[in-house]
């Protein structure tokens, strides 16, 4: 039976909530200092030349602000943004309709760009490079190809799996940025701002507790802020304090490191079924009843980041720190376990 997790993809109501907290200008953003500085220079240069910004590729784990940065870019350039995703563009005609509606300087944001169909990706190449497309109006021997000139627009692509992008597509982006996990201090600054926007009474210690259990991810700290606010209003006086945060997150089964049920299920599967590894990701996914992509995109990045799991040529391997965190006895071979280079 598949295990549900707290940190799911946002639904419509959740998306509206997150959008209401989204910064609209670059100066309002917190964290990603190197990315913001490079982007600030590129934006200023484009404005001075009165040109659209170069195409931008953003990669990194989910929830770090790729969509937010796409909207910030559009706002900074005073442009309209059109939002879509790789899986939503099934045919060349779908992309053609969007491209012909783009005005000069407009931003086309494609989330999960690594999931574009190959035929759509190849159709996109001349649009990114030469701002033109060759579109076949009819199929078969009587088909006619028409060359359309496009207005100079800015493409912003976002991906959680940059390694799945073809070199040909990656090379057509002028600006490539990798987003890192946020520090606890940066998350505290984010949640302080958002608590003020939502008019939530809180003390800094409570927000620090919340940030420390948010996996270095702004989307998660914003979601947990909402859940903790609900708990505070129902079980307390509406004020966020450390005991209130702890009690709310205990109900959500989120531990002190921010691990939820799915994270712990992954670690338990690796330890109990495969003796701590090495174990292949397909085997772990089959044991848990989850898709491989879910584990690789959503679960593993944070576990790798905190050093709980490593990837070896023979598969995933649990580190000794995992056993200590879960309160399990480490196997005797932990002292001479294989390294990344074996």
- Residue ranges per domain, the chain? 32-178, 184-251, 261-336
Rounded mean pLDDT of 39-53? 92
> Helix or strand or coil: residue 339?
coil
Domain 184-251 has CATH 3.20.20.80: no
Write the DSSP symbol of residue 215. Answer: T
Tell me what pLDDT residue 237 has: 83
More confident residue, 15 or 50: 50
Tell me what pLDDT residue 13 has: 56
* CA distances, 42 to each of 36, 59, 107, 213, 293 (Å): 10, 18, 15, 34, 34
More confident residue, 141 or 322: 322
Tell me what pLDDT residue 177 has: 94
Rounded mean pLDDT of 289-298? 84
- Beta carbons of 292 and 325 less than 8 angstroms apart: no
Please say if 219 is a catalytic residue: yes
Closest CA to 309 of 264, 255, 260: 264
Tell me what pLDDT residue 190 has: 92
User: What confidence tier does 144 reach under pLDDT thresholds 50, 70, 90?
Assistant: low
Out of 59, 67, 154, 217, pick the active-site residue. Answer: 67
* CA distances, 208 to each of 120, 124, 204, 258 (Å): 45, 44, 6, 13
Out of 115, 213, 215, 219, pick the active-site residue. Answer: 219
Rounded mean pLDDT of 141-159? 81
pTM recorded for the entire structure: 0.80
pLDDT at 58 over 50: yes
Cα 75 from Cα 89, distance rounded (Å): 25
Please write the tens of the pLDDT for every residue from 239-277. 888 999 999 998 898 988 888 888 888 898 888 888 887
User: What confidence tier does 91 reach under pLDDT thresholds 50, 70, 90?
Assistant: confident
Architecture of domain 261-336 in CATH? Orthogonal Bundle (1.10)
Q: What are phi and psi of 46, to 5 degrees?
A: -65, -40
Cα 114 from Cα 246, distance rounded (Å): 38
Contacts for 258 with CB less than 8 Å, ≥ 6 apart: 212, 213, 214, 215, 220, 302
Tell me what pLDDT residue 261 has: 87
Please say if 239 is a catalytic residue: no
Rounded mean pLDDT of 202-206? 88
Q: How crowded is residue 70: how many other Cβ atoms within 10 Å of its Cβ?
A: 23
More confident residue, 247 or 139: 247
Structure tokens at 301: 């990045």
Tell me what pLDDT residue 17 has: 59
Q: How crowded is residue 226: how many other Cβ atoms within 10 Å of its Cβ?
A: 15
Tell me what pLDDT residue 147 has: 76
User: What confidence tier does 318 reach under pLDDT thresholds 50, 70, 90?
Assistant: confident
pLDDT at 206 over 50: yes
Tell me what pLDDT residue 304 has: 87
Out of 106, 111, 260, 263, pick the active-site residue. Answer: 111
* CA distances, 204 to each of 107, 209, 244, 249 (Å): 38, 9, 13, 17
Please say if 100 is a catalytic residue: no
Q: How many CA atoms lie within 13 A of 312 on its CB side?
A: 17
pLDDT at 110 over 60: yes
Dihedral angle, C-alpha 11, 118, 93, 77, nearest 10 ° = 60
Write the DSSP symbol of residue 86. Answer: G
Tell me what pLDDT residue 269 has: 87
Selected from 1.10.3720.10, 3.40.50.1010, 3.40.50.300, 3.30.70.1110, the CATH number assigned to the domain covering 32-178 reads 3.40.50.300
Tell me what pLDDT residue 15 has: 57
Q: CATH topology of 32-178 equal to that of 261-336?
A: no
Closest CA to 84 of 70, 100, 72: 70
Tell me what pLDDT residue 342 has: 39
Q: CB pairs under 8 A, 24+ apart, for 50-53?
A: 51/152, 52/77, 52/79, 52/104, 52/105, 52/152, 52/153, 52/154, 53/77, 53/154, 53/175
Out of 68, 154, 159, 160, pick the active-site residue. Answer: 160
More confident residue, 4 or 172: 172
Structure tokens at 177: 């940025």
User: What confidence tier does 159 reach under pLDDT thresholds 50, 70, 90?
Assistant: very high
Please say if 160 is a catalytic residue: yes
Tell me what pLDDT residue 140 has: 55
pLDDT at 102 over 60: yes
User: What confidence tier does 16 reach under pLDDT thresholds 50, 70, 90?
Assistant: low
Contacts for 290 with CB less than 8 Å, ≥ 6 apart: 2, 3, 262
- Beta carbons of 289 and 265 less than 8 angstroms apart: no
Cα 158 from Cα 138, distance rounded (Å): 32
């Amino acid at each position: 039976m598949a295990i549900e997790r707290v940190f799911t993809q946002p639904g419509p109501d959740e998306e509206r909530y997150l959008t209401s907290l989204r910064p609209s200008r670059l100066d309002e953003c917190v964290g990603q200092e190197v990315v913001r500085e490079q982007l600030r220079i590129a934006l200023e240069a484009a404005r001075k030349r009165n040109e659209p910004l170069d195409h931008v590729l953003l990669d990194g784990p989910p929830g770090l602000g790729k969509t937010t940065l796409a909207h910030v870019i559009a706002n900074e350039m005073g442009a309209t943004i059109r939002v879509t995703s790789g899986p939503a563009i099934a045919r060349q005609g779908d992309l053609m309709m969007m491209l012909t509606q783009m005005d000069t300087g407009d931003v086309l944001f494609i989330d999960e760009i690594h999931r574009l169909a190959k035929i759509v990706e190849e159709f996109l190449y001349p649009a990114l490079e030469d701002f033109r497309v060759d579109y076949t109006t009819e199929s078969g021997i009587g088909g006619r190809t028409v060359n359309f000139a496009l207005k100079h627009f800015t493409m912003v692509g976002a991906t959680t799996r940059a390694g799945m992008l073809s070199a040909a597509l990656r090379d057509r982006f002028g600006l490539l940025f990798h987003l890192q996990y946020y520090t606890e201090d940066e998350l505290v600054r984010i949640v302080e701002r958002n608590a003020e926007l939502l008019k939530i009474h809180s003390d800094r210690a409570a927000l620090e507790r919340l940030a420390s259990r948010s996996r270095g991810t702004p989307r998660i700290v914003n979601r947990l802020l909402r859940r903790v606010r609900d708990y505070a209003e129902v079980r307390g006086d509406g004020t966020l304090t450390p005991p209130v945060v702890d009690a709310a997150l205990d109900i959500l089964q989120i531990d002190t490191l921010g691990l939820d049920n799915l994270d712990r299920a992954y670690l338990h599967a690796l330890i109990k079924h495969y003796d701590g590894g090495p174990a292949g990701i397909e085997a772990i996914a089959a044991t848990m009843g989850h898709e491989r992509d879910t584990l690789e995109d959503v679960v593993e990045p944070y576990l790798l980041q905190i050093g709980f799991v490593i990837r070896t040529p023979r598969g995933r391997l649990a580190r000794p720190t995992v056993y200590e965190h879960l309160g399990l006895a480490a196997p005797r071979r932990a002292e001479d376990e294989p390294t990344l280079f074996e």
